[in-house]
Structure 1
Amino acid sequence: MPPESQIPIASRDMARRFAVWLRLFYGTTFGLGGTYLPFFPVWLKAVGIDPSWIGMIAAAPPVTRFTVLPFITGLAERRQSVRGAMIATAFATAVGFTLVGTQHQPLLVFLLFAVTACVWTPMVPLTDAYALRGVARYGLNYGPLRLWGSVAFILGALACGVLVDIIAARHLIWVIAGMAGLGAVIGLGLQPLDQPKAAPTPLQPAGALLRDPGFVAIILASALIQGSHAAYYAFGSITWQASGLSGLTIAGLWALGVIAEIVVFALSPRFTLAPSLLVVIGALSGVVRWTLTAQEPPIAVLALVQLTHGLTFGLTQVGTMSLLVYRVPGHVMARGQGYLAACGGIVASSASILSGAVYARYGQGVYYVMAAMALSGAIVMWLARHRLADHPQSVASGG
């Protein structure tokens, strides 16, 4: 990448506009997640939905990640309109949550939310595909762009803690729908991208992605490492609450993890190790993290353990995206992101089911299973590192 002074002023201005609107869109997309996670189940309960239906309704997004999502990302690429798909899914998501809010009958809520999930879950992989195309086009860094999603997630979750004491629970759905609507409006400002530069090691058209061992290794390793968070996401708060930690302390522990993730994203332009090694480090950090968590450490140690989320999630994400920029041609990046999300969805949902069965019998021992998953991801990436033949900072250099 040439020094900024050697980049034409017009291109620099376009890069800045691209970065500003992408940060805003990342913010609203993940801010929606930050309001949805704590608000939506509370709203369902407030309008009289019983727990069995709540469980079925909440299962809709994970299922769409490995069923509908890859078809939508593939369709966006065939029509050569990733940006258009981002805007369309953002508006459809806003309309979907609004319609969900008008219903209180379990079956109707389930059906409307299932349809909403079909257009909502592709938003993140589409946005990542758009981001990586811009990274390659303008020579930007992925981490500093993506960190605004994590910042917004924290702010959204904190806002939930304030609003839940101010407005009636049956009105919480409008906070979610409002955030979705804000994201749709911001999406209109997203900048069209020129045709991306050719990848240094071009593959055959999209169908060849799943026949490429290097690509399969990337998405499998990522799925195993990120999927190793399943027990933490499902039972972390439950375990801490049972051990006597207050709600504020539990919220603080979650926030520590996301703050560490933000720091890693912010510092990622300075990383000089090959992306495959970043993924391996993230995986081995997961082995340490989950092994320590299984010991039920005291709060002071647990706080330090939570900081490793920056490595187990953040560093793995940075390394994975860097590998995809180098490995996947820009014209099939959305489909590559779809396959990544689908693989991750299958592994994560399977890990959640497995962790539920293991936790019921062995309690904190479930984290040893998560450590084994992270180790498996490290092995997959380590064995594939020579095949990938990646280069340091491929995200920064645009491939």
Structure 2
Amino acid sequence: FYFAALGTLMPYWGLYLQSLGFDAFAIGSLMSILMATKIVAPNVWGWLGDHLGHRMVIVRLASLLSLLAFLAMPGTTGFVQIALIMTLYSFFWNASLPQFEAVIFNYLGKHVERYSRLRLWGSVGFIVTVVLVGRLVDSRGTGVVLTALLVVFAGIFLSSLLVKDRPGSSDQEEQPSIWIVLKTPRVMAFFAAVFLMQMSHGPYYAFYSIYLQDFGYSKSSIGVLWSIGVLAEVLLFVFMHRIMSRYSAALILLVSLVLASLRWLLIGWFPEVLSLLVLSQVLHAASFGSFHAAAIHLVHGYFRGRHQGRGQALYSSLSFGAGGALGTFASGILWEQWGAPFAYTMASAVALLGAWCVWHFIPTSTTEEKRL
């Protein structure tokens, strides 16, 4: 349900805002709120989770508050009012996932490679909603996006009631200060790389649907293209444990960034070539799927014991939060001033810069990784 919300927000929220009369700069600014709240929210709730425990209580509370905040959205049309409501519901919504993933790793114990097989169900939720909502938007208009999100936010809260907390590892005494961990060169490079990867997604998350619509694609076709990307991600997650048993997480991170750079060039310069659009969506398996699985693996290795929740929160806030917010906001400016091809070219360059950070500072051999 959490990723079903993404399957509604990412493809269709921009279209909904466009239907209210907002221009590219306003849409980019509003969409950046979804990422900007990830800068603060996961760290606030992560600190509480690490110090107070009871992570699932935090997940349930955050899920309920995000639902209540979104109830104010129907009927709201002003920029300031929409910005305020988006800030409120996304602040609570973004708080839940890092804490839930910390609970997941407590359940997995030493079998962390099985994470991708659980995470693929988030991708299934994304696919179902992106296709279903696309058809509903085509037949009933963009107003149906509000109803879909209310249903999904309710689903997040109700499903959170079914999961119990599980105690984490007992190696808290062995963990150094979190500041010592953060000042390690490879950890700094890791956070720079994940920041740049999500920054490069800015034009895609904010304007991909609008871009394709301008080239004559129907909303249901746009939904299918979104779902192709996530389907490729699901298939990768099925086999990801085998890939990670053969190659280091850092090497997978590096390759993912290079393929993401190629993906943005394909979208930006060949939107009328359907076969290349499909190929670019298949590359979502790299720009998100393998990248996220490898990043989560590295976070789990860098941050243990009492730093577990804050490690997940920092990954979420610096990548999807700060990187996503800056990328989305900047893409609105680039899109307005120089057009889509330039915006996607800049996104490609940003992804390559992230690849350089991994190549230069993080050992990519499996032998070096085992020494973490």
Give the distance between the partners of 2:193 and 2:199, measured in 1 at CA.
Answer: 10
Change (3 A) 1:250 1:362: same
Q: 2:264 aligns with which of 290, 299, 305?
A: 290
For residues 97-112 of structure 1, what are the structure 2 equivalents within 5 Å? 97-101=70-74, 108-112=81-85
Label 1:202 to 1:369 Cα distance change in 2 as closer, same or farther (>3 A): farther
Q: Equivalent residue for 1:376?
A: 353
Aligned to 1:219: 191
Among 339, 347, 353, the alignment partner of 2:323 is 347
Q: Which moved more, 1:328-337 or 1:296-305?
A: 296-305
Matched, 1:320 2:295: yes
Checking the alignment, whether the CA contact within 8 Å between 1:29 and 1:183 is kept in structure 2 is: yes
Change (3 A) 1:291 1:50: closer
Displacement, 1:85?
A: 1.2
CA distance in 2, matches of 1:33, 1:130: 21
Highest CA radius of gyration, 1 or 2? 1
Q: How does 1:85-164 map to 2 (within 5 A)?
A: 85-101=58-74, 108-136=81-109, 141-164=114-137
Counterparts of 1:250-269 in structure 2, within 5 Å, are: 250-269=222-241
Give, in whole Å, the separation in 1 of the partners of 2:8 and 2:340.
Answer: 29
148-157 vs 55-64, greater mean Cα deviation: 55-64
Higher relative contact order, structure no. (Cα contacts within 8 Å, ≥ 6 residues apart)? 2
1:358 alignment partner AA: L
Alpha-carbon distance between aligned partners in 1 of 2:199 and 2:102, rounded to the nearest angstrom = 21
The residue that corresponds to 2:369 in the other structure is 390
Contact 2:43/2:314 (CA < 8 Å) preserved in 1? yes
CA 1:186–1:357 in 2, change beyond 3 Å: closer, same or farther? closer
C-alpha separation between the residues in 2 aligned to 1:116 and 1:168? Answer: 23
Contact 1:77 1:334 in 2 (8 A): yes
Paired position in structure 2 for 1:356 = 332
Report Cα offsets for 1:82-125 as digits up to 9, x if no partner: 22211111121122222444767765554344222211112222
The share of aligned pairs that are identical, in percent, is 22
Secondary structure in structure 2 of the residue aligned to 1:204: coil
- Matched with 1:4 is none
Point out the more displaced range, 219-228 or 104-113: 104-113
SS in 2 for 1:68: helix
Q: Which whole-Å CA distance do the structure 2 matches of 1:31 and 1:90 have between them? A: 14
Residue 176 (1) aligns with residue 153 (2): no
> Which deviates further from its counterpart, 335-344 or 163-172?
163-172
Task: State the shift of 1:307 in Å.
Answer: 0.9
Segments of structure 2 that go 5 or more residues without pairing to the other structure are none
Distance 2:63 2:184 in 1: 32
Q: 1:281 aligns with which of 255, 273, 277?
A: 255
Q: Distance in 2 between matches of 1:191 and 1:319?
A: 26
Letter in 2 for 1:291: L
What's the TM-score once normalised by structure 2's chain length? Answer: 0.85
1:132-159 deviation line (CA, Å, top 9, x unaligned): 3333355561111111111101111222
Encode CA deviations 1:43-98: one digit per residue, 9 max, x unaligned.
6688xx65378766544322211133322221221212322211111121122222
C-alpha displacement of 1:217: 1.9
Distance in 2 separating the partners of 1:120 and 1:370: 27
Tell me if the contact between 1:31 and 1:152 (Cα under 8 Å) persists in the aligned partners. yes
Match of 1:366 in 2: 343
Structure 1 unaligned blocks of 5 or more: 1-27, 393-398
Count, aligned residues: 363
Deviation string 1:203-253 (CA, Å, 9 cap, x unpaired) is 423344432333222222112123222222233333333334343433332
Contact 2:106–2:167 (CA under 8 A) maintained in structure 1:
no
Task: Tell me the distance in 1 between the aligned counterparts of 2:212 and 2:140.
Answer: 27
Q: CA RMSD in A?
A: 3.1
C-alpha separation in 1, matches of 2:217 and 2:73: 34
Q: Which amino acid aligns with 1:307?
A: V
Partner of 1:187: 160
Q: CA deviation at 1:328?
A: 1.1
Where 1:67 maps in the other structure, the secondary structure is: helix
2:309 paired with 1:307: no
Q: Can you list the C-alpha shifts for 1:295-335, whole angstroms capped at 9, x where unaligned?
A: 42622233223211101211111111111122210421221
The verdict on how the C-alpha distance between 1:357 and 1:171 changes in structure 2, with shifts beyond 3 A counting, is: closer
Query: What SS is found at the alignment partner of 2:156?
Result: helix
Separation (CA, whole Å) in 1 of partners of 2:73 and 2:263: 38
Does 369-378 or 204-213 show the bigger shift? Answer: 204-213
CA distance in 1, matches of 2:73, 2:350: 36
